[in-house]
Amino acid sequence: MKKAFIFDLDGVIVDTAKFHYLAWRNLGKQFSYDFTEEENEQFKGVSRVRSLELLLEMANYSATQDEKNQWLSQKNEEYLSYINKMDESEILPDIPRVLDYLWSKNQGVALGSASKNARPILKRLNLLNKFQAIVDGNDVTAAKPDPQVFTKGATALETSYEHCIVFEDSIAGIQAANSAGMISIGIGEASVLHEADYVFSDFTEISNNFLDQLMA
């Protein structure tokens, strides 16, 4: 039976969280806030606009709309300066193997990311043609934990939700997959992603046998 495998981008296919962190940290310095890596965990899977709101709340800084708009574009420009130096070597281990295996088994493969930069990132990684459908931050009206980013992918691949498998590194993304009735696979720490149906540290732990079981 054909299933749909939906991949998150940041933290699943590529480790761009480090670039988001650098850009948010530098922005925080403008209002004298020392943004830590630990705090950055809360930003994973969260939209750009919501991330800025969170940062301002942490810093207890009340910004004008003009300041917010300026900071959102400033943050994105810095983020893009890091992204523009990326290449295929940044693809996380065993992602190419898993994608190729799913294609060889004629499975549906989609991207479901909160990022508005998903397409240029996939292009830089030479992975654009590995996805039959791409749903990103430009395509949704509700952010994770709302399941829209994944349900749109399922619709594009003409697959019912219960036949979808989602790979996610964020708590919000796991909740989104669960609320749509999809199988959720956490990539990261089990203590953080305990709501997922399965958790693996990374794709080197996901065998072709396990993928076969998901397809069955």
To the query of whether residue 8 is one of the catalytic residues in this protein, the response is yes
Which residues are within 8 A (CB) of 46 and not within 5 positions of it... i.e. 6 or more apart?
54, 114, 143, 144, 170, 172
* Among 4, 47, 130, 187, contact with ligand B16 (rule: CB under 6 A): 47
Does position 169 bind Mg ion by CB under 5 A?
Answer: yes
Give the position of tokens 């810095």: 78
Near ligand B16 by CB under 6 A: residue from 3, 44, 152, 163? 44
Closer Cβ to ligand B16, 3 or 144, answer by number: 144
Rule CB under 5 A: choose which of 3, 5, 7, 11 binds Mg ion: 11
Q: 31: Cβ–Cβ under 8 A, 6 or more apart, which residues?
A: 56, 59, 61, 63
Q: Assess whether the previous peptide bond of 93 is cis (omega < 30° from 0).
A: no
- The pattern of x and - marking residues 4 through 43 that bind ligand B16 according to CB under 6 A reads ----xxxx--------x----------------------x
Provide the binding-site residues for ligand B16, judged by CB under 6 A: 8-11, 20, 43-48, 51, 76, 113-117, 137, 170
